[in-house]
Amino acid sequence: MDESIWNAVRGAREWLDAANGSGDTELTCRILKLTEEAGEVAGAWIGVLGQNPRKGVTHRREDVAAELADVAFTALVAVESLGLDAREVLAACAAKVRARAT
């Protein structure tokens, strides 16, 4: 991943720490934020499918991708907020996936 992504993840965690602190309640909110972001993905996909007849088609696949990126970024910030290195945690996860795929 581009180095600027990791800098942005750490910067976001530092900004949140400065604004909201870093106690267990704040950490809980950062973890729960993933659920909110995932709901936005679901809403966007429903919009792509036009599943809500009252609204029709309201989103594009690019909108879904942007929401998925929000989920991924939010997860990386939550990992950093746990006091771990998100780059290392993600690399370990990728290694497990690669090992299962071979």
The tokens for 61 are: 């696949």
CATH number for position 26? 1.10.287
**Considering its fold, how many domains does the chain have in total?**
1
Give the residue numbers spanning the domain of 90.
3-101
The tokens for 59 are: 């989103």
Q: Which residues contact 89 (CB under 8 A, 6 or more apart)?
A: 79
Residues 76 and 78: their CA atoms lie apart, in Å, by 5
pLDDT tens figures, 21-74 = 999 999 999 999 999 999 999 999 999 999 999 999 999 999 999 999 999 999
The tokens for 14 are: 């530092």
CA 41 and chain centroid, separation? 10
pTM above 0.95, yes or no: no
pLDDT tens figures, 83-97 = 999 999 999 999 999
